Amino acid sequence: MASARFLRYLAPNLITLSSMIFGLVSLWAAAHNDPALAAWMIIYAVLTDRLDGLVARAVKGTSELGMQLDSFADFLNFGVAPAYLVLTFLSKYPGLPFADGNGKTILFIVCGGYMLCAVFRLARYNILSDDQVPTKIFFGIPTTLSGGLIAIWMLLLLKYDPNIDIVGQGHFGGAKLFGDAFSTPLAVWKYFPIFVAVMGYLMASRLPMPKVGMTKNKLVSIGLLTLVISGYVCGFAMHFPEICFWMPTGWIVIFLAWGQASAKARAMYPPPLFPKREPTKPLSRPQADLEDIVLDEAPPDPVEPPPEKPE
C-alpha cells in the first residue's frame, strides 16, 4: 500500500522533471547554433507541463512538492530558455543591430526583463493560499503560454526564413503549408524583441484572462479539442508549426479583446502583493535560532525568597 501511494505521487513529478531536461536541452541547442531544436524543446516542455497536471489529478497525486517542482520547471523552461534562445539567436543573425553596441545592450535588457517578469509572476502565485487562487481566470498570461508562444512563432518564422541555412539548422518536417511564396522578412527579426517585451509585460500584468476549457457549446468544444490534439501530435513530431501556432495566438487575441471590452473583467482585481497590515505578532523564529539564544545567554541569577516573618 505504501509503495502504491509512493508511485502515485511519483508519476506526475517524473513528468515535471522530464520537462526540465527539455529546458536544459533547449539551452544547449541555443548555445550550439540550433535555434529550431531549442524552440522545439520549449514546445516539448509546454506539452509535458499540461500532462503532469492531468496525471496528478487523474491519480490523485497532487502534492506540495509537485507544486514547487512545477514552479521551478516553469522558470527554467518558460523564463530562462526562451530569453536565452532569443538572446543567442538575434545576436548572431547577420544584418541585425544586436551583435554589439547599443543594440546588444537593448537586447540584453529585453531578454533579462522578460526573465525577471517570469520569476515575478511565479513568485506572486506561489505565495497565494488556495482560496486566493482564481479558478476561472488568470491575472496576466501564464508563463507556459508566453514561453510557448515565443518558441512557436520563432519556429514559424525560421521555417520560412530564406537565410535558415546561414543562421542555424532546421528541424521542421513536412511541406510548407503557407507555400514557397511566403518568406520571413528581415524586419520581423529586427522588431522581434518588442514582441518579447510585450510577452514579459503581459506575464507580470494584472490584466484578466479567461482560462480555456470545454464549454456547453459542442461545436466550440470539438474545435478546442481538435486544436489541442493536433498541437500535441505536431509538437511531439516536430512538424508543422503552422498548425501549432493557431491556438495560443488566438487565445492571446481573444484575451486582450475580452479583458478590455468586458466590464465584469475590468472589475476583477488580483490579490495584493504585500500585506495591507503589519502582522499582529512577530514572526516565529526557527528552532535553531532559539537554541542559540538559550546557549549563548547566561542564565539569570536565582531569586532568593523573602525572609520569613517572625510569628
Distances (CA, A) of 83 to 72, 152, 251: 16, 14, 22
Q: Which of 87, 75, 88 is nearest to 23 (CA)?
A: 75
So what's the pLDDT on residue 231?
86
| 63 vs 151, more confident | 151
The residue among 101, 10, 124, 17 whose CA lies nearest residue 59 is: 10
Cα–Cα distance for residue pair 6/305, rounded to 1 Å? 59
CA distances in angstroms from 182 to 42, 134, 177, 187, 277, listed in the order given:
25, 42, 10, 14, 58
Instruction: State the average pLDDT over residues 133-162.
Output: 86
pLDDT tier at 44 (50, 70, 90 boundaries)?
very high
| Cα gap 21→104, rounded to integer Å | 29
Say which DSSP state 80 is in: I
Reduced to 3 states, what is the DSSP secondary structure of residue 217? coil
pLDDT top residue among 299 and 107: 107
301 has a pLDDT exceeding 60: no
Q: How many CB atoms lie within 10 A of CB 10?
A: 16
Q: What percent of the chain has pLDDT over 90?
A: 35
**Whole-angstrom distance, CA of residue 235 vs CA of residue 248:** 13
Alpha-carbon distances of 278 from 165, 269, 285, rounded to whole Å: 59, 22, 17
More confident residue, 179 or 292: 179
Contacts of 176 (CB under 8 A, 6+ apart): 159, 160, 182, 242
pTM: 0.81
pLDDT value at position 295? Answer: 43
Decide if pLDDT at 213 tops 80: no
List the alpha helices (DSSP H) in the chain: 2-31, 35-58, 64-75, 81-92, 101-126, 143-159, 164-167, 186-190, 192-204, 218-237, 241-244, 246-261, 263-266, 287-296
With a cut of 90, say whether residue 107 has pLDDT above it: yes
Q: Mean of the per-residue pLDDT values for the chain?
A: 80
Residue 300: the pLDDT is 52
More confident residue, 253 or 197: 197
* pLDDT tens digits, 216-248: 667 767 877 888 888 888 888 888 898 888 888
**pLDDT tens figures, 48-65:** 987 877 787 777 767 778
